[in-house]
Amino acid sequence: MSTLEIKNLHASVETPEGTKQILKGVDLTINSGETHAIMGPNGSGKSTLAYSLAGHPKYEITEGSVTLDGEDVLAMSVDERAKAGMFLAMQYPVEVPGVSVSNFLRTAKTAIDGEAPKLRTWVKDVKKSMDDLRMDSSFAERNVNEGFSGGEKKRHEILQMELLAPKIAVLDETDSGLDVDALRIVSEGVNRVKDNTGLGIMLITHYTRILKYIQPDFVHVFVNGQIAEQGGRELADRLEAEGYDRFLASA
């Protein structure tokens, strides 16, 4: 049982025009086994929240705290956070030429576990996970994300999540740009990992479509760097019908 606790989180970014405050006091607690959907308009700061949790150097935390099972996440380096059990599936996964997927996955697994995985079971695990995500085995020899289609990149993110087995995963628009088939495959992947490992999930999305496949326990409306309202699944349906106007007007 793990708990990620975000309290009064403020983050800013340096821009040519000066410091820009993006996160303006985020409070959110995610326990193992829970799925929290975060929905909000473009530019409201959802990705900034995700990156801040992962420790992206561009974002400066100016106030607040983040703990994972009581440990200070903000004091950890990027790789230490991953080792502590945090995972970020990125909205735009990065291409790393020259590094094969299989080499990358093995290196990451070794880093997270602190020891190399047993070769035989590892090869089997990778193959099974790739099969389940309908990724052709040839991807293993391709360079990380290089020339992958949008949907392939997203599947590759979920593949990593399954193999690295984090405690808490942040999925930043993992559903965006996927066709219905790919959406179903990716969602099944997320559900499978959740069933197997009981991880807690922060699911950032613009569309309720994915919520047909992945049941959220909580829905949070994210507006202007803060959580503006929380509810259950019905809140998502209401957002889909009404949009964000009523939040933006008051913001």
Return the residue of 32, 47, 145, 226 that touches ligand ATP, per CB under 6 A. 47
With tokens 């070769």, the residue in question is: 119
Return the residue of 20, 118, 128, 212 that touches ligand ATP, per CB under 6 A. 20
With tokens 């800013």, the residue in question is: 12
Backbone angles phi, psi at 245, to 5 degrees: -55, -45
Site for ligand ATP contains 58 (CB under 6 A) = yes
Angstrom distances, CA of residue 175 to CA of 2, 76, 121, 185, 233: 25, 29, 30, 10, 17
Look up residue 119 and give its two tokens: 């070769």
Question: Distance between CA atoms of 137 and 104, rounded to whole angstroms?
Answer: 15
Site for other proteins contains 111 (CB under 8 A) = yes
Q: Where are the alpha helices (DSSP H) in the chain?
A: 46-54, 78-84, 101-113, 119-132, 150-164, 180-197, 233-242, 245-250
Find the binding residues for other proteins in span 144-203 (CB under 8 A).
Answer: 144, 160, 164
Residue 184 touches which of ligand ATP, Mg ion, other proteins, none (Cβ within 5-8 Å per kind): none
Question: Which residue, 18 or 57, is less far from other proteins as judged by CB?
Answer: 57
Stretch of 83-91, 192-200, 210-218, 239-247 lying at the interface with other proteins (CB under 8 A): 83-91
Return the residue of 17, 98, 138, 249 that touches other proteins, per CB under 8 A. 98
Question: Distance between CA atoms of 113 and 142, rounded to whole angstroms?
Answer: 24
Site for other proteins contains 142 (CB under 8 A) = no
Instruction: Enumerate the β-bridge partners of residue 12.
Output: 21, 60
Find the binding residues for other proteins in span 44-63 (CB under 8 A).
Answer: 54-57
What minimum distance in Å lies between the beta carbon of 141 and other proteins? 12
What minimum distance in Å lies between the beta carbon of 188 and Mg ion? 24
Note the residues at the interface with other proteins (CB under 8 A). Answer: 54-57, 77-79, 81-83, 87-88, 90, 93-100, 103-104, 107-108, 111-112, 143-144, 160, 164
